[in-house]
Amino acid sequence: GLLLTLMTHQNTDKPHSFCCCIERRLDNVRSVCHTSCKRLGMCLHGQSGTDAEKRHKKLPLTAFAQNMQEGALQLSDETLLGKMLETCGEAENKLAMELSHHEVQVEKDILEPLNLLSETEIPNIQKQRKQLAKLVLDWDSARARWNQAHKTSATNFQGLPSKIDSLKEEMDEAGNKVEQCKDQLAADMYNFISKEGDYARYFVSLLEAQADYHRKALAVLEKVLPEIQAHQDKWSEKPAFGTPLEEHLKRSGREIALPIEACVMMLLETGMKEEGLFRIAAGASKLKKLKAALDCSTSQLDEFYSDPHAVAGALKSYLRELPEPLMTYALYEEWAQVANIQDQDKKLQDLWRICQKLPKHNLANFRYLIKFLAKLAQYSDVNKMTPSNIAIVLGPNLLWAKNEGSLAEMAAATSVHVVAVVEPIIQHANWFFPEEVDFNVSGAFVALPAVNSNHLHTGNDYDSGTLERKRPISMAGSPPSPSDFPTPFRPQGLNLFLQHCWGEISLGLSLRLFLRSFTWFIRLNQPPSLPHTLEIWAVSTNSLSLLRQNISWVGNRGKVGTLVQPPAMQQSQQKKPQRAQNFLVPFGISHLSPPFLCRRTCLLCV
Instruction: Give the Cα separation of 540 and 537 in Å (integer).
Output: 9
pLDDT band of 522, cuts 50, 70, 90: very low
Tens digit of each residue's pLDDT (9 = 90 or more) over 408-462? 455 555 577 889 999 999 999 999 999 888 998 888 776 444 444 444 444 444 3
pLDDT band of 304, cuts 50, 70, 90: confident
Instruction: Give the Cα separation of 289 and 484 in Å (integer).
Output: 41
* Per-residue confidence (pLDDT) for residue 356, from 0 to 100: 94
* Per-residue confidence (pLDDT) for residue 353, from 0 to 100: 95
- Which of 36-40, 143-147, 556-560 is predicted with the least confidence, judged by mean pLDDT? 556-560
Q: How far from chain centre, in Å, is Cα 206? A: 39
Tens digit of each residue's pLDDT (9 = 90 or more) over 374-409? 999 999 999 999 999 999 999 999 999 887 555 545
* Per-residue confidence (pLDDT) for residue 414, from 0 to 100: 59
What is the three-class DSSP state of 148? helix
Q: How far from chain centre, in Å, is Cα 538? A: 51
Q: Between 8 and 583, where is the model more confident?
A: 8
* Whole-Å CA distances, 537 to 168, 230, 501, 530, 591: 138, 57, 9, 21, 20
* Per-residue confidence (pLDDT) for residue 334, from 0 to 100: 92
C-alpha atoms less than 13 angstroms from C-alpha of 511 in its C-beta half-sphere = 31
* Per-residue confidence (pLDDT) for residue 121, from 0 to 100: 86
CB 544 within 8 A of CB 583: yes
Report pTM. 0.51
Instruction: Give the Cα separation of 204 and 209 in Å (integer).
Output: 9
CA-wise closest residue to 592 among 508, 521, 510: 508
Instruction: Give the Cα separation of 205 and 109 in Å (integer).
Output: 7
* Per-residue confidence (pLDDT) for residue 140, from 0 to 100: 87
CB 61 within 8 A of CB 99: yes
Structural domains present in the chain: 2-231 (1.20.1270.60), 245-484 (1.10.555.10), 496-605 (no CATH)
Tens digit of each residue's pLDDT (9 = 90 or more) over 48-57? 777 788 888 8
Q: Strand 560-561 and strand 551-554: pairing?
A: antiparallel
Tens digit of each residue's pLDDT (9 = 90 or more) over 437-446? 899 888 877 6
* Per-residue confidence (pLDDT) for residue 169, from 0 to 100: 84
Instruction: Give the Cα separation of 327 and 504 in Å (integer).
Output: 49
Tens digit of each residue's pLDDT (9 = 90 or more) over 187-231? 888 888 778 888 889 999 999 999 999 999 999 999 999 988 887
Tens digit of each residue's pLDDT (9 = 90 or more) over 554-592? 333 333 333 444 444 344 343 333 333 333 333 333 333
Q: Is pLDDT above 60 for 70? A: yes
Mention every residue, 6+ apart, whose C-beta is less than 8 A from residue 7. Answer: none
CA-wise closest residue to 540 among 603, 605, 598: 598
CB 422 within 8 A of CB 366: no
* Per-residue confidence (pLDDT) for residue 432, from 0 to 100: 94
Q: Is pLDDT above 50 for 7? A: no
Please provide the DSSP assignment of 380-411 as one string: HHHH---HHHHHHHHGGGT---SS---HHHHI
C-alpha gyration radius of the chain:
47
Percent of the chain at pLDDT > 70 equals: 66
Q: Between 234 and 347, where is the model more confident?
A: 347
* Per-residue confidence (pLDDT) for residue 549, from 0 to 100: 47
Q: Between 311 and 559, where is the model more confident?
A: 311
pLDDT band of 19, cuts 50, 70, 90: low
* Per-residue confidence (pLDDT) for residue 88, from 0 to 100: 92
